[in-house]
Amino acid sequence: MEIKRRYHLKKKELKQIKEELSKFFTDIDDIIPKKANVEIAITDKYDMILVDNKPVAVRLNNKLYPTLKVLLDKDIKEKRVVVDMGAVKFLANGADVMAPGIVDADENIKEGDVVFVVDEKHNKPLCVGEALMDGKTMKEANKGRAIKTVHHVGDDIWKF
């Protein structure tokens, strides 16, 4: 991942990003404090939102995905999908989430939503992605891709 350009956010852009991230976090001011240094780093793959030089979110295809490091500190139930332990090694390598590995999912998830995936044992985030089916279908389906992975443990964003 190569950073091509970096710039500070304008107030209007910052407000939009806070609104988008508030879908995940009720305490948005903890994640992006008022006096924080907020920048966008444009890379060859995506745009990264940095708060005091730490990646907080990634913008890809006009969608904002929170980073796993931000999700690690939070206990969020919405837009969450739980997978069995057999799926962990595949997700850690960047694989998409397959429906048979899903143990539980928020039934309010709609196709196209930004979701995050946790393991059933430790309840730790493994990846963030885009739902390819709704939450109810994810729990019931026996085959097919359920989530397109965008960011996973061990990738460039994680290592940043």
* Residue-wise pLDDT tens digits, 128-147: 999 999 999 999 999 999 99
The verdict on 94 and 66 lying in the same domain is no
Q: Final residue of a domain: which of 71, 90, 110? A: 71
What is the average per-residue pLDDT within 48-66? 93
Task: Tell me the pTM.
Answer: 0.88
Q: For 71-106, write each residue's pLDDT tens digit.
A: 987 778 889 999 999 999 999 999 999 999 999 999
pLDDT of residue 78: 87
- Local structure of 12: helix, strand or coil: helix
Q: Final residue of a domain: which of 71, 93, 127? A: 71
Domain of residue 111 covers 73-159
Q: Strands 114-119, 80-83: parallel, antiparallel or unpaired by DSSP?
A: parallel
Contact 138, 105 (CB under 8 A): yes
What is the average per-residue pLDDT within 53-70? 92
